[in-house]
Homo-oligomer: A and B are copies of this chain.
């Protein structure tokens, strides 16, 4: 319940380090209806001139929706449950909206934004001429396929969770969970990912810190099981 209030300080004070990755939740309307919102976890990179570069994999809503002229928000939230909902897709995700409840959003005219976020950037998709694809040497393997400009930066509060190992490791666990269903069962990649996923859960339990993540890991565990992981491969708590 932050973004419902006024910005606390000028957005110009927010300086991103250029070309490094920031994990965020992107939100945008589906073009057919203002009532349907897409939310997706995506890494974003900034240039020194406030452009944004994104690499969205094929088969994501984000890749389909963010065409030239479309507006979207980049939300920095600390609500791990929202990251989970924005990252895990249903099997039938191209037909259904798999995202957050409407109450999680503030509905502005052209852009939906997340109430839980401490910073919200309003953006508009630009062309990505092939001459630019390799120009902003973003620090990731994949070249970007979406370019946008930042229209405004809004700071609704100071961050509340930072330098927190449980939160950071949970993002790693979530990324693993998005990948596990894509790996061949019992391949080295699969086994390593399951192992690391379980190690992270056990660490958080041993730190007595699972209470604030419990509901989120239940969703992730169920997602993995629906996607072919055997319940006994996951360590329960």
Contact = CB atoms under 8 A, between A and B. Distances in A.
Most chain B Cβ neighbours within 10 Å, of A23, A159, A171:
A159
Contacts of A104: none
A8 to B, nearest CB: 6
Interface SS, A side = loop
B172 A169 contact: yes
Contacts of A208: 137, 139-141
Contacts of A139: 166, 207-209
A16 to B, nearest CB: 7
Contact of A16 (B76, B160, B171): B160
B161 A159 contact: no
A27 to B, nearest CB: 16
Stoichiometry, copies per complex: 2
A22 B162 contact: yes
Q: What class of interface size applies to chain A in its complex with B?
A: 35 or more
Contacts of A171: 163, 165, 168
Contacts of A207: 21, 139-141
Given A155-B158, A163-B171, 20 more contacts: A8-B9, A8-B13, A9-B9, A14-B158, A15-B158, A16-B160, A20-B161, A20-B209, A20-B212, A22-B162, A23-B164, A139-B166, A139-B207, A140-B208, A141-B206, A141-B207, A159-B159, A162-B162, A168-B168, A168-B171
A202 interface: no
Interface in A165-214: 165-166, 168-169, 171-172, 206-209, 212
